[in-house]
């Protein structure tokens, strides 16, 4: 059973609609896919509707509703994957809305800074690229690509452009990761620290911080990820075992905005089963063509 627990749609900064994403997930041979758009659950309804159609290509897929929460600790940005939480729990919902509402002025601020640097980017261009999604740095990065300023999304996130602390970087409202763990658990969900060893993205948190998060209730860390070198994966796998954390694997799929493929990295079925057992806020959503994917390898 192939399980991918980290994907994005047009509800945030992916290029596939939620319906397209779940159909592609099924076509790629996945049995389970988590929709984890940045700080929003807005794509869940469309994904559920695609699964509910018995004639859909995704009718045999199981959906794990989730989100990727924007966090920051001591100046270091990090992302917290939240699975199977109650999306209507008031405190967590309020925090997600604060992050979402800060995205537009933040992106507008980056556009202004880029213009000050002589880049002819406009807010209208960025808004067009974002469409109905939650506007974010990848949309600004794509605008820079359209203008020929950079040749890739990763180049746009370099220090001279919009990476953390870069010339055109603008901060936004972000959660303290310890608060994120607390809020998600209070909403019945499960937390996994996303790509904690992705040093090519910028500064990463220390193993001591991960240990402190584990003591505060963090459930797992994303081990197998495209931004983790083999040595990093081995180190994180050992750290997860040492701290009693679940170790997941995921694609971090964004459609054509990134080079990763659905199911490029996957999560062990037993780990997935433990995630579902710990959750009380929501449950996996089976497609109309079958029952929920088994929670363990032996069913």
Where are the domains positioned within the chain?
Answer: 3-87+188-286
171-189 b/e with 16+ CB inside 10 Å = b? Answer: ebbbbebbbbbbbbbebbb
Question: Which pLDDT value is given to residue 154?
Answer: 86
Give CA torsion, residues 134, 198, 95, 180, to 10 deg: 150
Cβ neighbours of 274 (radius 10 Å): 17
Amino acid 277: pLDDT: 98
What's residue 293's pLDDT? 59
Q: How far apart are CA 37 and CA 18, in angstroms?
A: 10
* Domain 3-87+188-286 falls under CATH 3.20.20.140: yes
Regions of the chain where pLDDT drops below 50: 296-299
Predicted pLDDT of residue 184: 98
DSSP annotation string for 106-129: HHHHHHHHHHHTT----HHHHHHH
Q: What is the pTM of this model?
A: 0.88
């Amino acid at each position: 059973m192939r399980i991918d627990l980290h994907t994005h749609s047009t509800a945030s900064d992916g290029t596939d609609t939620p319906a397209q994403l779940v159909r592609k997930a099924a076509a790629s041979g996945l049995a389970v896919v988590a929709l984890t758009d940045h700080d929003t659950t807005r794509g869940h309804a469309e994904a559920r509707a695609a699964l509910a159609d018995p004639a859909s290509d995704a009718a045999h897929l199981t959906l794990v509703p989730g989100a990727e929460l924007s966090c920051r600790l001591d100046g270091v940005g990090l992302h917290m994957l939240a699975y199977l939480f109650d999306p209507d729990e008031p405190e967590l919902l309020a925090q997600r809305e604060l992050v979402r509402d800060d995205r537009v002025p933040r992106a507008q601020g980056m556009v202004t800074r880029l213009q000050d640097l002589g880049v002819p980017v406009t807010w209208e261009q960025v808004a067009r690229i974002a469409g109905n999604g939650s506007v974010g740095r990848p949309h600004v990065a794509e605008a820079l690509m359209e203008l020929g300023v950079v040749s890739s999304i990763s180049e746009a996130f370099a220090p001279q452009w919009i990476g953390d602390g870069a010339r055109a970087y603008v901060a936004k409202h972000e959660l303290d990761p310890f608060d994120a763990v607390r809020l998600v658990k209070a909403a019945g969900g499960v937390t996994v620290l996303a790509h904690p060893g992705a040093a090519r993205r910028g500064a990463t948190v220390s193993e001591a911080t991960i240990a402190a998060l584990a003591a505060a209730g963090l459930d797992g860390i994303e081990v197998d990820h495209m931004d983790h070198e083999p040595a990093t994966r081995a180190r994180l796998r050992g750290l997860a075992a040492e701290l009693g954390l679940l170790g997941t694997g995921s694609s971090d799929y964004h459609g054509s905005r990134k080079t990763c493929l659905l199911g490029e990295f996957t999560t062990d079925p037993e780990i997935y089963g433990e995630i579902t057992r710990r959750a009380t806020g929501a449950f996996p959503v089976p497609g109309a063509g079958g029952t929920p994917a088994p929670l363990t390898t032996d069913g």
